[in-house]
Amino acid sequence: MPELYEYKRNTPVAEESYDVAVIGGGSAGICAAIAAAREGAKTLLIEDTGWLGGIGSTCAMVEFGPVYRAGLRVVGGVPQELMERMIAFGGAVRLGEEGSTMFAPETFAHVAMEMCLEAGVKLMLHSRFIDCILEGERISGILVDTKGGMFAIRSKVFLDSTGDGDVFFRAGLPFKMGRDADGAMQPMTLVFFVNNVNYAVYEAAVQRETGGKMIPFFEKLVAKAKADGNFHVPISRPGSVGVVPRYGRIHDPESCEVFVNSTNVVGKCGADAKDLTEAEIITRRQVYELYAFLKDYVPGFADCYLSHVPNAIGVRETRRLTGRYVLTAKDMVTGKRFCDTVAVGFNTIDVHQVAGEDFDLTDFAPGEYYSVPYRCLVTNELSNLIVAGRCISVDHEALGAVRVMVNTMPIAEGAGTAAAIAAKLSCDVRDVPVDMLQETLVKNGAVIGF
């Protein structure tokens, strides 16, 4: 038994209480909060950083995956509106027939903030959830720490969209991390940006060398750099490389800013501060080796300069709730349908191998799609907690699909809508009438099946 300090303190309770308190303002928390507020719930959104977007802004992602295929559109409602408003705002562009959207991370944070405020969501930034106060089967309040001190907040329903499942973890609920066999998790990556890239030269080289295919193109270059002793990152090629549509900047293919998803750290846990610290140190060093690699080996990058390194490493995988139902990759590839579906998708199951180097990708053919049921968002233990985002109840492989934002956002719209209904009916979140939930989602433009 380690030495223990006993820590007791009287904590003030905030005067205002809420129908729905959403904890974590990433891709999931944003959509959950907007959905709840639009359904009339008095909604609070608590976020640790100074802006919204989570991994999508703080760790600086730039792409929402495909949403249309073979006549099926799998994203509607709040996330579709968010993407369209980001495009109209001028910091995002739609690509190709399948409707992927490239965006500037700060545009995501900004448009999300405006949409939350318009919906009537009360924002509480720079505020960190630290614990739950449990009364029987209910969370009666949560403890939040700020620069001004710690206080308690009451709400009818709490929604955990912290990515890491901080709320269900502190509540002592069951969860899993990593592969069933050994708990190993997908690697973490610190992305970075380089500017003044001649993308036209790069694309012409990819076309010439590998018929326009990025993967074999980079595999060859990385293999050469490894053979030269100039590449030590455990990866056979970047996860992705793409042009960033910065607000106010006209796209110039001969001098543009490029996102690089290529650092990689294996064997670390994204929910452990010691591991996270080591991961930051390793990947921040890797950024400079990769920058040199780009300049020396990749056509079009010779004159680039490092324009942005985010202030946090991107975490792909930590805690996954063990909820009422655990959605599996098998459910996804077999297209299992659920009577309480809240969202559908066809994004690739994208599991970055735990040892680094490569990726296990499972694609869905045109017309195929998977369904995500509400029962993955609720717990066996608590009557007023709903979970959204990458920490919902899925297995390690299914997380490879659920974690991408074209999935976290629609699922979270389902979570936020359910939270508002539970608050309105004063019912257990597990007893939210499914027909009412689905009718509301469809009325609001969400897609729950075909």
Q: Are strands 349-352 and 359-362 parallel, antiparallel or unpaired?
A: antiparallel
- Window 149-188: residues binding ligand FAD (CB under 6 A): 161-164, 166
How many residues sit close enough to ligand FAD to count as binding (CB under 6 A)? 38
Tokens of 216: 């074999």
- 343 makes contact with ligand FAD (CB under 6 A): no
Q: Nearer Cβ to ligand FAD, position 177 or 205?
A: 177
Out of 20, 21, 23, 132, the only residue in the binding site for ligand FAD (CB under 6 A) is: 23
Q: State the nearest-atom distance from the C-beta of 95 to ligand FAD, in Å.
A: 12
Out of 21, 44, 113, 191, the only residue in the binding site for ligand FAD (CB under 6 A) is: 191
Measure the CA dihedral 188/193/194/199, to 10°.
Answer: 100
Q: Nearer Cβ to ligand FAD, position 298 or 412?
A: 412
Q: Nearer Cβ to ligand FAD, position 85 or 126?
A: 126
d(CA 90, CA 415): 29
Q: How far is CA 378 from CA 118, 374, 414, 430, in A?
A: 28, 7, 12, 7
* Binding span for ligand FAD by CB under 6 A among 62-70, 105-113, 131-139, 318-326: 62-70
Q: Nearer Cβ to ligand FAD, position 25 or 323?
A: 25
* Binding span for ligand FAD by CB under 6 A among 7-15, 59-67, 85-93, 296-304: 59-67
- 404 makes contact with ligand FAD (CB under 6 A): yes
* Binding span for ligand FAD by CB under 6 A among 7-15, 87-95, 400-408, 437-445: 400-408
Write the binding mask 406 to 435 for ligand FAD: x where contact by CB under 6 A, - elsewhere: x-x---------------------------
Identify the sign of the CA torsion 175, 178, 180, 184.
negative
Q: Nearer Cβ to ligand FAD, position 188 or 423?
A: 188
Q: Nearer Cβ to ligand FAD, position 48 or 340?
A: 48
* Binding span for ligand FAD by CB under 6 A among 174-182, 208-216, 312-320, 330-338: 312-320
- 345 makes contact with ligand FAD (CB under 6 A): no
- 189 makes contact with ligand FAD (CB under 6 A): yes
- 237 makes contact with ligand FAD (CB under 6 A): no
Q: Nearer Cβ to ligand FAD, position 198 or 347?
A: 347
* Chain residues that interact with ligand FAD, rule: CB under 6 A: 23-29, 46-49, 54-56, 61, 63-65, 128-129, 161-164, 166, 189, 191, 261, 314-316, 389-390, 403-406, 408
